[in-house]
Structure 1
Amino acid sequence: MEFLQKIQVIERLDQLIKLKSTGTADDLSRRLNISKRSVYNILELMKRMGAPIKYNQTRQTYYYSYECNFVLGFLESKKL
């Protein structure tokens, strides 16, 4: 998977996690059109980047344990 494709998948996964409507890893693989292994790899990458991802077995969905935002891009130096 190319870098930009991976970023797009992360952004989509972030949206689904915020909505608490990811479903299982199998559901995600179908929804994101990637392998189940890729789902686990991206979830692990997001966790290493600091995402507080948890899984609720009762609701069968991934969620954030606290509110957060995924940000990737460039900001004007004056705004920092």
Structure 2
Amino acid sequence: MNVIIKQIELIKRIDQLIRLQATGSPNDLAHRLQISKTKLYRTINTMRELNAPVIYDVTLQSFVYEKAVGFRFGFFKKELNTSDLNPFVG
């Protein structure tokens, strides 16, 4: 599998666990995902660079989002307008 796709899948999994407030400690999460703690922090930093407001809540013992956000990556069907067919028009 492509490295980029693996990274996206990892982000999707972390996002799912964050939404459930079920990541556990960084050590627990890294173990659950079968990655190193270093890779976990690199991935979370990547998420932050993509504007994910990820923080660790000591009380909940879980990573959480500071505010409601959505994450979606991939291609989807879009209805085309005439101007979409020729980028030089319009």
Report the TM-score when normalising by structure 2: 0.80
Cα distance, 1:61 vs. partner?
Answer: 0.5
Residue identity (%): 35
Larger Rg: 2
Matched residue, 2:42: 41
Q: 2:20 maps to what in 1?
A: 19
| Structure 2 portions without partners, runs of 5+ | 81-90
Corresponding position of 1:71: 72
- Show the counterpart of 2:56: 55
d(CA) in 2 for partners of 1:77 and 1:12? 26
- What is the aligned partner in structure 1 of residue 29 from structure 2? 28
> Displacement, 1:58?
1.7
**Unpaired runs of 5+ in structure 1?**
none
Q: 1:8-47: CA deviations, max 9, x gaps?
A: 1111100000000101111111110100000000000000
Moved over 3 A (4+): none
Deviation at 1:4, TM superposition (A): 1.2
Residues of 2 paired with 1:34 and 1:4: CA distance?
Answer: 16
Q: Which has the larger displacement, 14-23 or 58-67? A: 58-67
Q: Report the Cα distance in structure 2 between the residues aligned to 1:23 and 1:2, rounded to whole angstroms.
A: 26
TM-score, reference length from structure 1: 0.89
Tell me how far 1:75 sits from its aligned partner: 2.8
Q: Aligned pair count?
A: 79
